[in-house]
């Protein structure tokens, strides 16, 4: 299967951005709470981490509102591959974040203006609200780390979800999955 770049869209957190690294770092440095990546076995972290709900909420608020200030980092190789894809056509990002502005600034900084300016960025504010946008934009493939989102997408004719493998989705789905951005690159450029 070779995927045309123009038909592929991306979730941001847990795919393009290493949101877990930032979550774990902030928990350790600012709240003295040690979390291991393997402990995050559920997308709803409240359900799998023994942490006060207020602390989780505060960290998520910082991840959403101030990604540059807290040094949210790109997933390994994501920016190199995305810049390569941006040469073929505009990139499409669809995030469940409620506000596109902070993550737009983050994307522009890390991708560079040349790749980011033509890109489409949609913030749905709703984890289950991506399908309509994916259809409207004419995408046939979408990469997301939330397997429940991928289940919804798989129910739509013409949309093939690809799960970005993470501890919270492993063994929970039967969709195609990728482990690295090198694999994503292979899907489009081999």
List of residues contacting Mg ion (CB under 5 A): 11, 13-14, 145
Q: What backbone phi and psi angles, to 5 degrees, belong to 31?
A: -130, 5
Burial environment of residue 131 by CB neighbours within 10 A (0 to 12, 13 to 18, 19 or more): middle
Distance CA 52, CA 35 (A): 13
Select 87 or 168, whichever has its Cβ closest to Mg ion: 168
Select 113 or 126, whichever has its Cβ closest to Mg ion: 126
Is 190:174 a contact under the CB 8 Å cutoff?
Answer: no
Tell me the residue nearest to Mg ion as measured from the CB. Answer: 14
Minimum CB distance to Mg ion, residue 144 (Å): 6
Select 13 or 49, whichever has its Cβ closest to Mg ion: 13
Own/partner pairs, 60-68, CB within 8 angstroms, 24+ separation: 60/23, 62/26, 63/13, 63/19, 63/22, 63/23, 63/26, 64/97, 64/98, 64/99, 64/102, 65/99, 65/102, 66/102, 67/17, 67/22, 67/102, 67/103, 67/105, 67/106, 68/102, 68/105, 68/106, 68/109
Select 120 or 189, whichever has its Cβ closest to Mg ion: 120
Minimum CB distance to Mg ion, residue 47 (Å): 16
Select 18 or 145, whichever has its Cβ closest to Mg ion: 145
Minimum CB distance to Mg ion, residue 13 (Å): 4
Minimum CB distance to Mg ion, residue 43 (Å): 8
């Amino acid at each position: 299967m070779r995927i045309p770049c123009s038909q592929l869209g991306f979730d941001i957190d847990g795919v393009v951005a290493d949101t877990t690294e930032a979550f774990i770092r902030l928990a350790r440095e600012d709240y003295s709470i040690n979390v291991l990546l393997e402990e995050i076995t559920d997308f709803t972290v409240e359900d799998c981490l023994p942490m006060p709900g207020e602390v989780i909420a505060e960290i998520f608020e910082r991840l959403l509102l101030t990604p540059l200030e807290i040094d949210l980092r790109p997933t390994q190789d994501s920016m190199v591959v995305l810049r390569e894809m941006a040469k073929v056509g505009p990139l499409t990002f669809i995030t469940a974040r409620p506000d596109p502005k902070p993550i737009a600034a983050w994307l522009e900084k890390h991708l560079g203006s040349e790749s980011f300016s033509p890109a489409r960025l949609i913030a749905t504010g709703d984890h289950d609200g991506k399908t309509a946008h994916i259809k409207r934009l004419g995408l046939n493939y979408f990469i997301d780390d939330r397997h429940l989102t991928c289940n919804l997408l798989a129910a739509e004719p013409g949309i093939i979800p690809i799960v970005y493998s993470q501890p919270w989705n492993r063994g929970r789905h039967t969709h195609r999955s990728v482990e690295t951005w090198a694999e994503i690159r292979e899907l489009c450029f081999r």
